[in-house]
Structure 1
């Protein structure tokens, strides 16, 4: 074959769309990046037990829309919302059952659209705590704010990095305890060519007012599928409470989730 024909054939092949499997794997990998330019709406269910002297239990459905907003050619603002819907029973002794909304956590990450030197991806901005709980036992009763940041690298099938924030209470019910809380989430994940993702992280919180750690270690498996043109990721996992506050959860917990993706 003549070199010119060979070159033309190679160029035509390069211009073809990626195979569907490769596109699915790319979308699955974007889900591992908290500041990816990808609209997603996760519904994450968590169940834990072992609260208080009566071994109370708690189930939380976190609704977590992620919306990237382009502000110029170089920067995005990533809006990440966590809206918890909570059911709990006897988490503080004989305290009965409660059901309703918890407090909303709203984060905004200013993030470059392109990775930096060495492929580093990062974002930083403010985080807000909104006292939206429908029951006093489902929320803090406080308004809060503070800084948040994430840094990560995606290297082949691997994604690894950490997300952190700190929230101080600034207003709210004066009869409720003040808040000074640090959240740390180191994470690592591996995405296969057929869009399976295996993830390990902790979602640790340190309460500076009471000098207490909460350290759940989470392992999950996710699979991205398409229903027609709609990509959806399904997740299931388990966690172990390596450290918890007094009267907090203990032992093993369960996590399951479904995420709807809306590629731009």
Structure 2
């Protein structure tokens, strides 16, 4: 009888630990899921210490203020996302210039789930809000974005594709024809820690200037009071392929993201 009680206790303990671990992994996946329907504020930064083939060893920095607002406008679940850069860029001959970059708006419509896979797609608009020619394209741009997210027991798989092309703006600036792909791979560890890779592949179809970076970083998810989730990370990224000069040789991507629960209306 004592042996049976001991076995039962071990089974209950194992079940409790497994349930807690599964919930922890689910929380980490939700914090990293780009389609999580929560109000989200991201403070993210790219630091580029070196460009391939650039004379004088210039560096650059881009701080990104990002936000995500879920809604059911028109009865359709969607996520409105904005990205506003504050950048420091080389500026010949004055050295460096700091200011606002171009504002990117995205409206993702969430499609019905297929098993555990979620799809989102919608229009994209870029406004030429840059305060200096070195910080933006000087062009109005329109395009589309698509996202697929597939949570796993061990982490998260996702991908974000965007395409944008210019249709108006300064006549003396180059046209824009840009395709990007961001593969996202997260491997959950324990106690909210996870490994991550999320470097963005860039394909400049206008100038045929393309490059593919690969990243490997570390992050941690914190559950704060009032249901707020904080996600902090750092991810060095190295360019493994390029077909022209001017791409970052390597860069450091870091950030802190906050997700806020949406209050449900009272019955």
Aligned to 1:104: 103
**Secondary structure of 1:137 counterpart:** helix
Aligned to 1:240: 238
Counterpart-to-counterpart distance in 2, 1:82 and 1:37: 17
Query: Any gaps of 5 or more consecutive residues in structure 1?
Result: 1-18
CA shift in 2, pair 1:89/1:168, >3 Å: closer
Is contact 1:50-1:248 (8 Å) kept?
no
CA shift in 2, pair 1:42/1:23, >3 Å: farther
**Secondary structure of 2:97 counterpart:** strand
- Post-superposition shift, 1:224? 1.3
Is contact 1:49-1:249 (8 Å) kept?
no
Please give the TM-score of this superposition, normalised by the length of structure 1. 0.83
- Post-superposition shift, 1:170? 0.6
CA shift in 2, pair 1:135/1:24, >3 Å: farther
Aligned to 2:64: 62
Query: Any gaps of 5 or more consecutive residues in structure 2?
Result: 1-18, 263-267
Structure 1 runs (4+) greater than 6 angstroms displaced: 19-22
Counterpart-to-counterpart distance in 1, 2:208 and 2:244: 11
Aligned to 1:115: 113
| Residues 1:82 and 2:83 are matched in the alignment | yes
The equivalences for 1:193-212 within 5 A come to 193-212=190-209
Counterpart-to-counterpart distance in 1, 2:156 and 2:29: 8
Counterpart-to-counterpart distance in 2, 1:155 and 1:25: 9
Counterpart-to-counterpart distance in 1, 2:39 and 2:61: 26
- Post-superposition shift, 1:174? 0.7
Is contact 1:58-1:89 (8 Å) kept?
yes
CA shift in 2, pair 1:257/1:141, >3 Å: same
**Alignment partner of 1:231 out of 229, 239, 250:** 229
CA shift in 2, pair 1:21/1:64, >3 Å: farther
Is contact 2:25-2:155 (8 Å) kept?
no
| Residues 1:142 and 2:117 are matched in the alignment | no
Cα deviation 1:26-75 (Å, max 9, x = unaligned)? 332113221111221111111112232111100111111111112377x4
Please give the TM-score of this superposition, normalised by the length of structure 2. 0.82
Counterpart-to-counterpart distance in 2, 1:26 and 1:70: 24
Counterpart-to-counterpart distance in 2, 1:163 and 1:179: 19
CA shift in 2, pair 1:53/1:66, >3 Å: same
CA shift in 2, pair 1:136/1:179, >3 Å: same
The equivalences for 1:121-200 within 5 A come to 121-200=118-197
The equivalences for 1:217-228 within 5 A come to 217-228=214-225
CA shift in 2, pair 1:81/1:23, >3 Å: farther
